Amino acid sequence: MSILYDEERKIFHLATNKTSYVLEVVRDGYLAHRYWGKKISRFRDSNTLVSIDRPLSPNPYPHRKESAFSLDTLTQEYPGYGTTDFRTPAYQIQLESGSTTTDLRVHTHRIFKGKPGLEGLPATYVDNENEADTLEIVLRDSILDLTVILSYSVFEQGDAITRSVRFINEGDEKLRLLRASSMSADFGDAEYEMLHLSGGWSNERNVIKRPLQKGIQSVESKRGASSPQHNPFLALLRRGAGEDCGEIYGFNLVYSGNFLANVEVDQYDTTRVSIGINPFDFAWLLKPDESFQTPEAVMVYSDEGLGGMSRIYHRLYRSRLCRGEFRDKERPILINNWEATYFDFNADKIEQIAAKGKDLGIELFVLDDGWFGKRDDDTSSLGDWFVNQNKLPGGLEDLAKRINKQGLQFGLWFEPEMVNEDSDLYRKHPDWVIHTAERPRSTGRYQLVLDFSRRDVCDAIIRMLSDVLRSAPITYVKWDMNRHMTEIGSALLPPERQRETAHRYMLGLYRVMDELTTAFPHVLFESCSSGGGRFDPGMLYYMPQTWTSDNSDAISRLKIQYGTSLVYPVSAMGAHVSDVPNHQVGRVTPLETRGNVALSGVFGYELDLTTFSEQEEQMVKDQVAFYKDVRRMVQFGDFYRLLNPFEGNEAAWMFVSEDGSEALAFYYKVLAQPNLGFRTLRLKGLNPDVLYRLDDGDLFGGDELMYAGLRVPAELLMGDFRSKVWRLRRED
């Protein structure tokens, strides 16, 4: 059992292979956070809790005339508001009286094997109950008859701990939940840097680091989607920690909507971290007997730097977050027509691109936006999910069969959560969108957001999509979402529940995705939100891959894919070779380098292959054949970052196959610089005692490749945007 409870000392010790996490029930039921870090065989309390009288830190025991104890100075686990702690609370509840003071104390606990699912929400899971143990700590506010259950699941082998919280109103007054973090934890010092993944459209998940300062530092989304602006992820790096060494604490929210990841450093340099649904513009009415479930937070500690943390997240998400038959399956190489044709295509054009793709070894054709309603540009037809007869007079089935005949699978784009004002659906159901009655409805890309907090709207979308998916041999769906929420409100919710709309929307979306992915288990779903605008674990639970960014420029992608890899596995990252000059940034890069960047993800093409020269076709053929050969290693192997594009003019990373018998290293140089020195690439993750043969026949020990390194060929000094790949095979 990975969770132990010391009854006498009231200490919970949660242990993974390499990590310990310790809680203590102090005084009459306060839950204190005592330790999280490298594994300790037995916690005997060397770093004992002390409390002394601190000016301006009040005491919750006035009747005892006791001035030393204050919640303001205790390292806590799920702190409340109003009873002597002035730092950011983990939760906040308003009573009918208007008061927001609550007082939760530990009541009971339960430890059991396995990990239960979360009602209506995505979460990591176990395939059998031996893979994780769960601790539920039941807190109660006796005055309110409020029960709060803190759940901890420990993936012992996976080296991760997940947390979530359930609020249950067992009293007879209406409570209003104003804040409900998924986790909170206090660290005893502030010697950390905060790392987050932030950016914007076409520039997602830049790695940003800053030393912690006194006060609050946070990242959040108020957009109704997890967003490209900030990913729902935060890490603390102990001073001196880096890619390969040092202590890292990662926090990732399994949620696709508004979130807040918050760090507060207080007057005594205690650091409080929390992550959860954004309390901004959120309130949830909890009537008697109702309950509220928070999303799950996935917490990872690594003493092997960011690389160690990433590999823990990658393994867990690949195997125990993603689901369905594609979880463990190699993903097909696709050709998507978006950047090849945009809205301007017909069945013949599509068939030509597919036929060329087939010649070159591609496996799946994806028909992007523009196949439905009257859609010839982005001003109309979202919501009208029936085929555009002008473009595809034979219908979808005919086209899909023509593509199948060429020998490719057929995939289709949808944007199910949206509707254009110019659509039959909106004309018929103008109240089916997120809106407030008294204001005009702002549009984004001429579209409005369907009100997925409504069951009838969700059911209608499920029906429409199911009809299309049944109408033709479709084996892949690209699920797009291209605007954020404004004028947030729902026509069906009463005034006191309007601030529930954004979260209810997410619950509706999760149900829609759950029903569709369950009904169509043989369809591979890829999520997208103007590229990687909703690249989060919530989406990965339903759809095992995400279109990483609308920016398909190979050089921009170095940073985007590097940043994404901090948390998310390569098997989740869609990466396509596109045309030059690149459509997003205008850059011209060699086809070889575009290939080498896209080969480091779930590989595909997004350009008009029919315009390629023979030489270019040959290169595509080679890239496709190469990917097929190394695909298992790229999608399911271990990933190591070697050179950081945020820190210089180069990037490099590598893959090691699951059984360690093979490796693949990629090196990229951005701009040529005069009179550069020679470069060495020190590999990682190899077996030091084993010999590896390179493709050119050279044989080197794993130790030499890792410690002395590989020489980057001098020819790469010349020219911009150069790259190189090495394949290494273990020699037995």
Distance between CA atoms of residues 92 and 610, nearest Å? 59
Task: Please state the closest distance from residue 413 (CB atom) to ligand DGJ, in A.
Answer: 6
> Which residue in the list 369, 480, 536, 579 is annotated as catalytic?
480
Task: Please state the closest distance from residue 545 (CB atom) to ligand DGJ, in A.
Answer: 13
Task: Please state the closest distance from residue 597 (CB atom) to ligand DGJ, in A.
Answer: 17
When binding is defined by CB under 6 A, the residue of 530, 545, 548, 561 that contacts ligand DGJ is 530
Distance between CA atoms of residues 248 and 239, nearest Å? 10
Q: Is 456 a catalytic residue?
A: no
Q: Is 480 in the site for ligand DGJ (CB under 6 A)?
A: yes
Q: Is 420 in the site for ligand DGJ (CB under 6 A)?
A: no
Report how many residues bind ligand DGJ under the rule CB under 6 A.
Answer: 11
Compare residues 371 and 655 and give the one whose CB is closer to ligand DGJ. Answer: 371
Compare residues 426 and 547 and give the one whose CB is closer to ligand DGJ. Answer: 547
**DSSP β-bridge partners for residue 448:** 419
Q: Is 531 in the site for ligand DGJ (CB under 6 A)?
A: yes
Task: Please state the closest distance from residue 531 (CB atom) to ligand DGJ, in A.
Answer: 5
Exposure string over 10-42, b if 16+ CB within 10 A, otherwise e? bbbbbbbebbbbbbbbbeeebbbbbbbbeeeee
Distance between CA atoms of residues 149 and 450, nearest Å? 33
When binding is defined by CB under 6 A, the residue of 547, 626, 627, 668 that contacts ligand DGJ is 547
Q: Is 369 in the site for ligand DGJ (CB under 6 A)?
A: yes
Virtual CA dihedral for 723, 597, 248, 11, nearest 10 degrees? -150
Asked if 334 and 604 touch (Cβ cutoff 8 Å), the reply is: yes
Distance between CA atoms of residues 606 and 458, nearest Å? 31
> Which residue in the list 550, 553, 579, 638 is annotated as catalytic?
550
Compare residues 152 and 547 and give the one whose CB is closer to ligand DGJ. Answer: 547
Compare residues 75 and 582 and give the one whose CB is closer to ligand DGJ. Answer: 582
Task: Please state the closest distance from residue 577 (CB atom) to ligand DGJ, in A.
Answer: 14
**DSSP β-bridge partners for residue 22:** 13, 35
Q: What is the CA radius of gyration of the chain?
A: 27
When binding is defined by CB under 6 A, the residue of 482, 564, 644, 723 that contacts ligand DGJ is 482
Q: What letter would DSSP give residue 121? A: B
Residues in the chain: 732
Task: Please state the closest distance from residue 270 (CB atom) to ligand DGJ, in A.
Answer: 42
Q: Is 413 in the site for ligand DGJ (CB under 6 A)?
A: yes
Beta-sheet strands, E only, within 608-704: 638-643, 650-656, 662-669, 680-681, 691-694, 699-701
Q: Is 431 a catalytic residue?
A: no
Compare residues 85 and 204 and give the one whose CB is closer to ligand DGJ. Answer: 204
DSSP characters over 213-265: -SEEEEEE--SSS--SSB-SEEEEEETT--SSSB-EEEEEEE-SS-EEEEEEE
Compare residues 530 and 589 and give the one whose CB is closer to ligand DGJ. Answer: 530
End-to-end CA distance of the chain: 39
Binding string to ligand DGJ for residues 310 to 349, with x set by CB under 6 A, is what? ----------------------------x-----------
Residues 349-368 close enough to bind ligand DGJ by CB under 6 A:
368
- Continuous segment of H or E residues that includes residue 136: strand 133-141
Compare residues 369 and 638 and give the one whose CB is closer to ligand DGJ. Answer: 369
Q: How far is CA 331 from CA 190, 328, 545, in A?
A: 43, 9, 9
Residues 509-528 close enough to bind ligand DGJ by CB under 6 A:
528
Binding interface with ligand DGJ (CB under 6 A)? 338, 368-369, 413, 480, 482, 528, 530-531, 547, 550
Q: Just list the catalytic residues.
A: 480, 550
